[in-house]
Amino acid sequence: MTTRRTPLPGVGIQYDFSTESGHHVSVVVHNDGRRFLGFYSADDPDACLLSVPLVPEEATALAHLLDQAPIDAVRTDGIDLVTEHIPVGVRSPYVGRALGDTGARTRTGASIVAVLRRTGAHPSPGPGFRLATGDTLVAVGTREGVDTLAEIIAGG
């Protein structure tokens, strides 16, 4: 399954994927934290059949139903932090390179707090940790910082 990430200037980010059965699903993450889950026609990928708005709490509840151990957003006094899972795809310029090469914290202010790999989780990876295709980075930071980090990892 490939997830396509599309920046929506002034709105947020849209994530699209197609299921193995051919269904097109989209999640739009607004800059203010709102999320919309969209379902599209298999015959016309631009025809949205249903859009379901989700407030952050509903999105978290749905994530708990889909994944037994999702990571929740972190909220602190006056500062909203988000936690995102960022995939390392085959086209990432960081495949096979050390995590420190990303310059994540310096460039974005976001921190990579774990790397999820098929063989298991690697919490608090050091700068020498080598990334592989299929890894998922668990990043914490501001919405802007985490989105910028996702673009960097994707090679954008």
Q: Give the CATH number for residue 139.
A: 3.30.70.1450
Together in a domain, 34 and 80: no
69, 95, 123: which is the final residue of a domain? 69
Query: Residues 58-86: pLDDT tens digits?
Result: 777 777 677 655 445 454 555 677 888 89
Dig out the tokens for 87 from the structure: 């995939």
Do residues 52 and 3 share a domain? yes
- Is there a contact between 39 and 23 (Cβ–Cβ < 8 Å)? yes
Distance, CA of 20 to CA of 130 (rounded, Å): 30
* Structural domain count of the chain: 2
Whether residues 64 and 80 share a domain: the answer is no
Q: Which two tokens stand for residue 143?
A: 């919405």
**pLDDT of amino acid 96:** 96
| 93 and 156 share one domain | yes
Task: Please say which residue of 38, 69, 100 terminates a domain.
Answer: 69
Q: Among 41, 69, 97, where does a domain finish?
A: 69
Same domain (yes/no): 140, 129: yes
- Per-residue confidence of the chain (156 residues) as pLDDT tens digits? 567 878 888 787 888 888 887 778 888 887 777 888 988 877 776 788 888 888 776 777 777 677 655 445 454 555 677 888 899 988 899 999 999 999 999 999 999 999 999 888 899 999 999 999 999 999 999 888 998 999 999 886
Residues 93 and 65 occupy one common structural domain? no
- Shared domain check, 131 and 110: yes
Spatial distance between the Cα atoms of 132 and 117, rounded to a whole number of angstroms: 8
Domain span at residue 42 reads 1-69
Beta carbons of 138 and 81 less than 8 angstroms apart: no
- Phi, psi of 3, rounded to the nearest 5 degrees: -105, 130
Whether residue 31 contacts residue 47, with contact meaning beta carbons closer than 8 Å, is answered with: no
Strands (DSSP E) contained in the chain are 4-8, 12-18, 24-30, 35-40, 48-54, 74-76, 79-87, 111-117, 120-123, 136-141
Same domain as 28, residue 14: yes
C-alpha torsion 97→146→40→42, nearest 10: 0
